[in-house]
Amino acid sequence: MKNYNNDKNRRPHFSGFWRKIWAEKRPQMQAHLDSLNARKILKADERVKQVKAIAHLLPNEPMSATRLRDQVAENWNDVYGEDFTSKQAWCLVRLCIKRGLFVRGQDGLYSTSDLQTH
């Protein structure tokens, strides 16, 4: 077992580094953070549009979350040529659920029937 030194005062010169930078350059730091967030949102919107483009390939019947994940990953691979791990596919499906592309019914299954009219 390694003997780690967990002393928080080990590097005191870095103790308030980011607090100091934010205090000195708040407008620049805020602008940079806003631009990062805007790019992240645009990238997520693009991913959702890509899923919407392949939604017609998904089965019309309601599916469980895991089946939906597997279907999205399989169709994504067929259309775009990217291999998704189940973790990546699940993150993409959750994003699409959040954006309203997949709707959960009363029975707990997800439906894609309203997506067939791009």
* All structural domains of the chain with their residue ranges: 13-115
What pLDDT does residue 84 have? 86
Quote the CA–CA distance of 28 and 26 in Å, as a whole number. Answer: 6
Q: Taking the model in full, what pTM does it have?
A: 0.73
Domain 13-115 = CATH 1.10.1330: no
Q: How far is CA 91 from the centre of its chain?
A: 5
Q: How far is CA 8 from the centre of its chain?
A: 33
In tens digits, the chain (118 residues) has pLDDT values of 555 556 655 666 677 888 899 999 999 999 999 999 999 999 999 999 999 999 999 988 899 999 999 999 999 999 999 888 889 999 999 999 999 999 999 999 998 855 444 4
Number of other CB atoms surrounding residue 113 within 10 Å? 14
DSSP state of 101: S
Number of other CB atoms surrounding residue 103 within 10 Å? 14
What pLDDT does residue 10 have? 62
